[in-house]
Structure 1
Amino acid sequence: MGRITETVKVLLIINIIFFVGTLAIGEQAYQYFSLWFFKNDNFGVWQVLTHMFMHGGFMHILFNMYALWAFGSPIEQMLGKNKFIFFYFSAGFGAAIIHTLVNFYHYQAGYNALLDAGMETQAIQTLLETGQYSTGILNSVSQDMLQEFYMSYNTPAVGASGAIYGILVAFGMLFPNVELFLIFVPVPIKAKFFIPALIALDLFSGVTGYSIFGGGIAHFAHVGGALFGFIMMWYWKKNQFNQNRWD
């Protein structure tokens, strides 16, 4: 975790430019560049890429950019510039895919439940747009399902976390015995234990809805980035492709 590599430096600069630009522009930037659910009118295909450079606040971008520098630089040194770029964006796209699939599951489950409860399609669309519904519907559809239905449609995803989780997995596979420190657990933990535990925690939070890190976190995007990162690194290592740097 020494010097910063060239591609990581460029990614850091782009993320900072987006963050400063977002502060200057305001909500319109989030509306245009965040990743919205594909049935939402705000959705645009470019958001699959641009959401990776958007962040929800200073602490969000600070932690992501620290992780990009600390773990991304040694991975770029191992893989080479072009291969690292391919890996980084593939993990980010994978995160977007898994996040969207989970959102679609919640959306479709809620939509079907409301139809079965007798709500008309126009009333369902009004619920999605305004959040307003008759309390009588709660006799047939749970509050949690309604919330997941509404949030899946109206909550955009932002952040480089999906790509970062792919990098974390790559780091754990290439440097399994490197000891890492958690801020809230001041003892060294080897990467091969720390990183799977972190992913398992995200999976637990995504399934149960309980998060020790607070709300508003796209846990399944993290899991998706980690999954795609693992698949790529497993394939490259199996085929000894990691020896071929795409410089």
Structure 2
Amino acid sequence: MMDLSLATIVIIAANVIITYKALGDYSFFERYKFNVGSIRRGEQIRMFSSGFLHVNTMHLVFNMFTLFFFADVVIDALGTLNFIIVYIISLILGNLLSLYFHKDEYYYSAVGASGAVTGILYAAILIRPDMSLYMFFVPVPIPAYLFGIGYLLYSIYGMKKQIGNIGHDAHFGGAIGGYVVTLLLLPQLIETNLLMVLLLAVPIIILFVMHKTGKL
């Protein structure tokens, strides 16, 4: 049985309480969701508050389920305070990347903890690239580092093709947050597992190159 840390419990509880408040109060949802036009008019709180709103119960459960599985890996390696720092910075960077790519789309809106959760996921993979992940639709375990690289490459594809009603850019920004903050907090990873550090940086470099060359 996996033990939930107090920090994980508090984050999950905050997401559940705020999401259900918003689902029952349309004006609350509209006031605190990520919206480019509102943020550019000065409502910066949306950069943070939107990370605790979800469009429905399934969206909420999926994010919290993912957080549940990877939080302890990050907490064990970095400590509770640094885990919270990774979570918050990933949330903000996810929304900053969304704002950057959609800065001229004043109508663009989004909600969800996906950026923050992806940051924790990518931090966990960086810390424990040897983990095996089991996906619902794949009957064999997948090495964590392959999953991380594949996930971000798919996010780039999703951003380019605008696939689904999914904030691929927020996922990617969150992953960058998890990657960078974890390396700042555990720089010894560069010495002990340089190959994995470089491999997990590949999608980030690809995104940067595609953007600079106008292919994104």
**Is TM-score (shorter-chain normalized) higher than 0.5?**
yes
Is this contact kept in 1: 2:102–2:108, CA < 8 A? no
For residue 103 of structure 1, report the CA deviation from its aligned partner: 0.3
2:47 aligns to what? Answer: 48
Distance 1:220 1:24 in 2: 28
In the alignment, residue 199 of structure 1 is paired with which amino acid? L
* Structure 2 residues not aligned, in runs of 5+: 190-216
1:22 aligns to what? Answer: 22
For residue 235 of structure 1, report the CA deviation from its aligned partner: 2.4
In the alignment, residue 57 of structure 1 is paired with which amino acid? N
Deviations 1:13-37 (A, max 9, x none): 0111012111221x21221110110
In the alignment, residue 64 of structure 1 is paired with which amino acid? N
| 1:212-231 equivalence runs, <5 A | 215-231=164-180
Distance 1:162 1:36 in 2: 15
In the alignment, residue 166 of structure 2 is paired with which amino acid? I
Tell me the number of residue pairs that the alignment of Structure 1 and Structure 2 aligns.
190
For residue 237 of structure 1, report the CA deviation from its aligned partner: 2.6
From the superposition, tell whether residues 15 and 39 of structure 1 become closer, same or farther in structure 2 (CA, over 3 Å). Answer: closer
Asked if residue 175 in structure 1 is aligned to residue 128 in structure 2, the reply is yes
Which aligned runs of 4 or more in structure 1 are off by greater than 6 angstroms? 40-43
From the superposition, tell whether residues 41 and 31 of structure 1 become closer, same or farther in structure 2 (CA, over 3 Å). Answer: farther
Deviations 1:2-53 (A, max 9, x none): 211110100000111012111221x212211101104568862111111110
Distance 1:84 1:2 in 2: 17
2:69 aligns to what? Answer: 70
1:8 aligns to what? Answer: 8
Distance 1:84 1:216 in 2: 29
Deviations 1:122-170 (A, max 9, x none): xxxxxxxxxxxxxxxxxxxxxxxxxxxxxx3213110000011111111
Distance 1:179 1:89 in 2: 26
In the alignment, residue 23 of structure 2 is paired with which amino acid? L
| 1:10-159 equivalence runs, <5 A | 10-25=10-25, 27-38=26-37, 44-104=43-103, 107=104, 152-159=105-112
Deviations 1:84-134 (A, max 9, x none): 111110011110111000002xx2xxxxxxxxxxxxxxxxxxxxxxxxxxx
Instruction: Output the TM-score relative to the length of structure 1.
Output: 0.72
RMSD of equivalent CA atoms: 2.0
Is this contact kept in 2: 1:36–1:42, CA < 8 A? no
Is this contact kept in 1: 2:155–2:171, CA < 8 A? yes
Q: Tell which has more relative contact order, 1 or 2 (C-alpha 8 A, sep 6+).
A: 1
In the alignment, residue 152 of structure 2 is paired with which amino acid? I
For residue 199 of structure 1, report the CA deviation from its aligned partner: 1.3
Instruction: Output the TM-score relative to the length of structure 2.
Output: 0.82
1:235 aligns to what? Answer: 184
Q: Secondary structure at the match of 1:45?
A: coil
